[in-house]
């Protein structure tokens, strides 16, 4: 091939090939087993081309980078597997809690019912009624002379003072609770 052609100018390493070599390279489909020497010759010429050499170098550099990244990934495998297992366990736990939530929510609502303003007001009224009943029972026991805390050997004025002190304490407690219950009915936000 003449040195003045564009091919020879762009690819000086192929300028030395004869026309027959070029035709053989271009027209034959070479079986790598039967024509091993021709294949090696073709590859040797192809590998000498500067653009092909640059592609091979870039390919090898990319392979090295990929192998390094794979090595880094492989080194992180145990940590990633542990993280995957931990995530799987956390997800399973979250699903279990999600399934338990309706029962927990129902129990919370039931537990909170005791502390609603209506329930507290009702409990306050019941407690006031219990104290009222206790004071009435004490008064009836005193009238009938059956007060358990009275000693027959005590002076009558001492017995009266004991009854008055106990009855008065019960009635004060009753009135405090009754007033609080009334106020709770009038003013729902009132808590004292």
Q: Which residues contact 61 (CB under 8 A, 6 or more apart)?
A: none
Q: How many domains does the chain have?
A: 2
Q: Please indicate, yes or no, if residue 58 is contained in any of the structural domains.
A: yes
Taking only the tens place, the pLDDT of each residue in 47-79 is 777 888 888 889 999 999 999 999 999 999 999
**Where does residue 8 rank: exposed (0-12), middle (13-18), buried (19+ CB within 10 A)?**
middle
Domain region containing 50: 6-62
Residues 175-180 have a mean pLDDT of 90
Q: Please indicate, yes or no, if residue 18 is contained in any of the structural domains.
A: yes
186 vs 71 pLDDT, higher one: 71
- At residue 149 the predicted structure's pLDDT band, cuts being 50, 70 and 90, is low
- Separation in Å, CA 101 to CA 104, 106, 115, 182: 5, 8, 21, 38
Judge contact between 177 and 126, C-beta under 8 A: no
Judge contact between 166 and 124, C-beta under 8 A: no
If you average pLDDT over every residue of the chain, what do you get? 82
2: helix, coil or strand?
Answer: coil
Q: Please indicate, yes or no, if residue 105 is contained in any of the structural domains.
A: no
Taking only the tens place, the pLDDT of each residue in 7-17 is 677 766 667 77
With tokens 């106020």, the residue in question is 183
pLDDT at 91: 97
Q: Please indicate, yes or no, if residue 77 is contained in any of the structural domains.
A: no
Q: Please indicate, yes or no, if residue 31 is contained in any of the structural domains.
A: yes
Helix boundaries (H) for 49-155? 50-113, 117-143
CA distance 10 to 16: 13
pLDDT at 141: 85
Residues 129-134 have a mean pLDDT of 92
Taking only the tens place, the pLDDT of each residue in 78-114 is 999 999 999 999 999 999 999 999 999 999 998 888 8
Q: Please indicate, yes or no, if residue 175 is contained in any of the structural domains.
A: yes
CA distance 43 to 49: 10
Supply the pTM of this predicted model.
0.42
Q: Please indicate, yes or no, if residue 142 is contained in any of the structural domains.
A: yes
Q: Please indicate, yes or no, if residue 1 is contained in any of the structural domains.
A: no
């Amino acid at each position: 091939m003449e040195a003045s052609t564009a091919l020879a100018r762009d690819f000086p390493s192929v300028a030395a090939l004869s026309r027959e070599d070029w035709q053989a390279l271009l027209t034959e489909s070479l079986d790598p087993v039967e024509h091993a020497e021709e294949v090696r010759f073709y590859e040797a010429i192809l590998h000498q081309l500067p653009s092909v050499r640059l592609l091979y170098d870039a390919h090898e550099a990319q392979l090295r980078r990929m192998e390094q990244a794979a090595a880094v990934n492989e080194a992180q495998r145990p940590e990633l597997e542990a993280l995957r297992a931990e995530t799987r366990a956390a997800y399973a736990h979250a699903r279990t809690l999600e399934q338990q939530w309706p029962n927990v929510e129902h129990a919370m609502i039931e537990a909170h019912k005791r502390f609603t303003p209506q329930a507290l007001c009702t409990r306050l009224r019941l407690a006031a009624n219990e104290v009222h009943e206790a004071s009435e029972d004490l008064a009836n026991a005193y009238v009938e002379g059956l007060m358990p805390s009275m000693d027959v050997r005590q002076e009558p004025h001492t017995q009266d003072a004991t009854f008055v002190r106990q009855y008065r304490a019960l009635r004060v407690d009753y009135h405090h609770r009754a007033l609080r219950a009334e106020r709770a009915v009038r003013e729902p936000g009132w808590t004292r």
